[in-house]
């Protein structure tokens, strides 16, 4: 009697387990057949800027899309995919969703996602994660960073050689080590080619207020700055709008904007001198390729600089003179050879010669 009851109970448990397992596999199968996945899959979670932010997230998605097409993948849960975060609280939810759906690699885009990637990667140790612009020291997380100071040095060279007033500007978003890398590199580039130039600077305290960017640019231009570089996201786009407005009112006004992250010439072709580009797209595709080939750099910090074509000046060069372009090439060679070590912090900048 007892044996029959035990046997019945065991049968019910096994049956329930089978049904639950089937339900779980339905959500997590991700195109699998017989428990084996048909293809490598990769997904990304945007920060609140969204996938069409004309900057960081968009570049990452372009890289993921290129990787997907190069590897014969389709957009969606069975290939390459993204989830958009509308608020900070979406980060953990979205990362968990992609992990539950059994994506081989899950990206968190941007430094704002550090805490979320840290937490989710600790809970889901069998999933591979990657984060851009931050470092998470977990063995299943690859940390993608850039030598922003090297690219910023080059646009500093451009600014230092272009200015007529010997006053240039730097607008940062939130003051933090990441943005200070842009500042330090830019100032070093300016002083290397034009020791007489003065760099006006201001941190607006945000990345999403174009009006602050416009107001800051207006103040700097009235103070004599004729070339302004930003590392301020959407706030910086306001700077470009203001510079463009000034030039439209007076086409002979020698004032220029320098964009960031992507080639921002399309925002104002007549006002953008150049841009400091961060090839987030190349980095994202590169790490995905490594993961697909079984060489996932979990627990490692991967840094992309001039040597890896991870940073540099934009391909749009219509507003740059031949002399300026030649100088950029010369300084690029010096940095790559190690002859010049670009400062990445305010402290290093003080000792830069």
Digit-by-digit pLDDT tens for the chain (353 residues) are 333 333 334 343 334 443 334 344 434 445 444 444 568 999 999 998 888 877 788 999 999 999 999 999 999 999 999 999 999 999 999 999 999 999 999 999 999 999 999 999 999 999 999 999 999 999 999 999 999 999 999 999 999 999 999 999 999 999 999 999 999 999 999 999 999 999 999 999 999 899 999 999 999 999 999 999 999 988 999 999 999 999 999 988 999 999 999 999 999 999 999 999 999 999 999 999 999 999 999 999 999 999 999 999 999 999 999 999 999 999 999 999 999 999 999 999 999 98
Enter the tokens of residue 194. 């034009």
Q: Which domains does the chain have, with CATH numbers?
A: 37-146+281-306 (3.40.50.2300), 148-278+321-350 (3.40.50.2300)
* Whole-number pLDDT of residue 30: 53
Count the Cβ atoms, other than its own, within 10 Å of residue 11.
Answer: 10
> Is the whole model's pTM more than 0.75, yes or no?
yes
Cβ 126 vs Cβ 103: under 8 Å: no
The per-residue DSSP string of 109-158 comes to: ESGGGHHHHHHHHHH-TTSEEEEESS----TTEEEEEE-HHHHHHHHHHH
Q: Which residues in 267-281 are b (16+ Cβ under 10 Å) and which e?
A: bbeebbbbbbbbbbb
Q: What is the pLDDT of residue 48?
A: 86
Please report, for residues 13, 192, 226, 339, the alpha-carbon distance to residue 161 in angstroms, rounded to integers and kept in the order given.
Answer: 76, 10, 12, 21
pLDDT at 28: 44
- pLDDT of amino acid 199: 98
The dihedral region occupied by 166, where left means phi > 0, alpha psi between -120 and 50, and beta the remainder, is left
163, 315 contact by CB (below 8 A): no
- Token readout for 271 is 């006002």
Return the pLDDT at 42. Answer: 98
């Amino acid at each position: 009697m007892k044996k029959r009851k035990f046997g019945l109970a065991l049968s019910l448990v096994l049956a329930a387990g089978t049904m639950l397992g089937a339900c779980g596999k339905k959500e997590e199968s991700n195109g699998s057949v017989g428990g084996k996945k048909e293809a490598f899959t990769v997904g990304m979670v945007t920060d609140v800027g969204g996938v069409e932010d004309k900057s960081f997230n968009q570049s990452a998605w372009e890289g993921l899309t290129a990787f997907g097409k190069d590897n014969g993948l389709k957009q969606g849960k069975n290939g390459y995919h993204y989830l958009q975060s509308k608020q900070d609280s979406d980060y953990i939810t979205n990362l968990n969703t992609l992990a539950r759906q059994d994506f081989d690699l899950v990206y968190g885009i941007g430094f704002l996602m550090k805490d979320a990637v840290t937490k989710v990667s600790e809970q889901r140790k069998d999933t591979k994660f990657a984060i851009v612009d931050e470092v998470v020291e977990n063995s299943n997380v690859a940390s993608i960073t850039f030598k922003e100071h090297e690219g910023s040095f080059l646009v500093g060279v451009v600014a230092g050689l272009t200015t007529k007033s010997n006053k240039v500007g730097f607008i940062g978003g939130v003051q933090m080590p990441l943005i200070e890398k842009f500042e330090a590199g830019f100032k070093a580039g300016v002083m290397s080619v034009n020791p007489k130039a003065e760099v006006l600077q201001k941190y607006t305290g945000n990345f999403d207020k174009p009006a602050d960017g416009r107001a800051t640019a207006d103040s700097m231009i009235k103070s004599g700055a004729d070339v302004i570089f930003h590392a301020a996201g959407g706030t910086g786009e306001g700077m470009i709008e203001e510079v463009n407005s000034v030039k439209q009112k007076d086409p002979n006004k020698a004032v220029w904007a320098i964009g960031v992250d992507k080639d921002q010439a399309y925002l104002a072709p007549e006002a953008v001198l150049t841009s400091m580009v961060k090839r987030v797209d190349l980095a994202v595709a590169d790490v995905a390729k490594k993961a697909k080939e079984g060489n996932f750099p979990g627990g490692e910090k991967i840094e992309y600089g001039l040597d890896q074509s991870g940073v540099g000046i934009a391909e749009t060069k219509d507003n740059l003179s031949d002399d300026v372009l030649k100088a950029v090439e010369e300084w690029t060679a010096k940095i790559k050879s190690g002859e010049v070590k670009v400062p990445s912090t305010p402290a290093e900048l003080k000792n830069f010669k």
